[in-house]
A = this chain, B = another copy of it.
Amino acid sequence: MISKFKFNSDGLIPAIIQDAKTKRVLMMAWMNEPSIRQTLEKGMMCYWSRSRQKYWVKGETSGNVQKVIHWYVDCDSDTLLFEIEQTGGACHTGFESCFFQELDMSAEPRTVQEKPVFDAAETYKPSA
């Protein structure tokens, strides 16, 4: 099926990442064909970094890996959905989800009630 996926002009396809148990949406990321193949081979989410122009196993630095439970392609074959088991939190800020900031109907931010689930400064500090 991968050959039928509609990658954009940069060879990328968006992937929505959802917690398999709670169904909370954790993040969206971009994948290319090699990162999809590596994800399936390892059973762990692997993305394409547009800024670093390389693919990477999610959690290789933080330990916050994502184990694939189910995955789906949409009706247009241009978006993927992965249900995963998250170790730690998905967001580089330390929150469980990248979507921790709710907005109101005037597009103003609501007060964030939840707390980070890990210490991002500690997790991502440069090694000595």
Contacts and interface: CB of A to CB of B under 8 A. Distances in A.
Contacts of A100: 72, 75
Interface string A11-42: 00010101000111101100000001000100
A101 interface: yes
A81 B25 contact: yes
A40 B74 contact: no
Contact of A24 (B23, B27, B101, B103): B23
Contacts of A16: 16, 25, 28
Interface residues of A, number: 39
A117 interface: no
A88 to B, nearest CB: 15
Nearest to A28: B79
A72 B23 contact: no
Interface of A: 1-2, 14, 16, 18, 22-25, 27-28, 36, 40, 43, 68, 70-76, 79, 81, 91-93, 95, 98-103, 105-109
